[in-house]
Amino acid sequence: DQQVKQNSPSLSVQEGRISILNCDYTNSMFDYFLWYKKYPAEGPTFLISISSIKDKNEDGRFTVFLNKSAKHLSLHIVPSQPGDSAVYFCAASATGNQFYFGTGTSLTVIP
């Protein structure tokens, strides 16, 4: 059973606008979350993290929001750029070593 879900397989956004990628989880013990970006034929690259003691973390154009009561997190990219076109994965962990990944959302930023 998938403990981390990304229900939108794909998303298209105009360049310069905001991209919002969503992620839901079922395990209330998850306390650390990561977002990764992946280009074809490459390994995932780290974007941003958040622990359960926070509800927001920002790094440049990327902001992650965590709603623990809803078991939901989202990644905001502002402004979106064509180079952001990739597959985005969220991941969650309760133990620190075992991360559960979502199935990914393919983002296309249209110039």
Partner 1 sequence: NAGVTQTPKFQVLKTGQSMTLQCAQDMNHNSMYWYRQDPGMGLRLIYYSASEGTTDKGEVPNGYNVSRLNKREFSLRLESAAPSQTSVYFCASSEQAPGELFFGEGSRLTVL
Q: Tokens representing 55?
A: 């509800």
Closest approach of partner 1 to the CB of residue 34, in Å: 7
DSSP the chain: --SEE---SEEEEETTS-EEEEEEE--TT--EEEEEEE-TTS--EEEEEEETT-SEEEETTEEEEEETTTTEEEEEESS--GGG-EEEEEEEESSSS-EEE---EEEEEE-
Give the residue with the Cβ less far from partner 1, 36 or 73. 36
Closest approach of partner 1 to the CB of residue 85, in Å: 19
| Residues contributing to the site for partner 1 (CB under 8 A) | 2, 4, 6, 31-32, 34, 36, 41-46, 49, 51, 89, 91, 93, 95-104
Q: Tokens representing 10?
A: 């794909």
Give the residue with the Cβ less far from partner 1, 40 or 111. 40
Closest approach of partner 1 to the CB of residue 46, in Å: 5
Give the residue with the Cβ less far from partner 1, 66 or 102. 102
Give the residue with the Cβ less far from partner 1, 85 or 99. 99
